[in-house]
């Protein structure tokens, strides 16, 4: 069964450094998302992406964050200058198109654990 994959599984970085988290969504999916989960807290929405542009973003997704679909398979989240509070699990999710409507179901990847020191 197709799955969303994410790399790396764990990223450790120094405060102020740039990180790029990578995701390969399910191949026939067209809507992509990033979420994060700080340890012990609930999963929070960051951004959604469709047709090569941001569809919606949360207050968390400030100017330090950006997303890109550099080719036909990858979807990336870049954090320009990491802060201690960016330490979290980051999940990519994707959603397919069914006919002319999207189905509601989002499928999640295994996550990247980002640790900012």
CB of 30 to another protein, least distance (A): 9
Q: Residue 65, interface with another protein (CB under 8 A)? A: no
Q: How many residues bind another protein (CB under 8 A)?
A: 31
Decide: 31 and 23 in contact? Cβ < 8 Å: no
Q: Identify the DSSP state of 94.
A: E
Q: 20 pairs with which residues across the strands? A: 78
Write out the E strands in the chain.
5-7, 10-13, 19-24, 29-37, 44-50, 53-57, 65-68, 75-79, 88-98, 101-102, 107-108, 112-116
Q: Should residue 61 be labelled a site residue for another protein when binding is judged by CB under 8 A?
A: no
Residue 13 makes contact with another protein by CB under 8 A:
no
Using rule CB under 8 A, residue 54 touches another protein: no
56 touches another protein by CB under 8 A: yes
Which stretches of the chain bind another protein, using CB under 8 A?
Answer: 4, 6, 31, 33, 35, 41-45, 48, 50, 55-56, 58, 89, 91, 93, 95, 101-111, 113
């Amino acid at each position: 069964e197709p799955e969303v994959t994410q790399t790396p599984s764990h990223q450790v970085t120094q405060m102020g450094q740039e990180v790029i988290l990578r995701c390969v969504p399910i191949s026939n999916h067209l809507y992509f998302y990033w979420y994060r989960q700080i340890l012990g807290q609930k999963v929070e929405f960051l951004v959604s992406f469709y047709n090569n542009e941001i569809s919606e973003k949360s207050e968390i997704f400030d100017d330090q964050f950006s997303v890109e679909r550099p080719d036909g398979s990858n979807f990336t989240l870049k954090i320009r200058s990491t802060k201690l509070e960016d330490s979290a699990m980051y999940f990519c999710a994707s959603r397919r198109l069914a006919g002319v409507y999207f189905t509601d179901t989002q499928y999640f990847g295994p996550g990247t654990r980002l640790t900012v020191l």
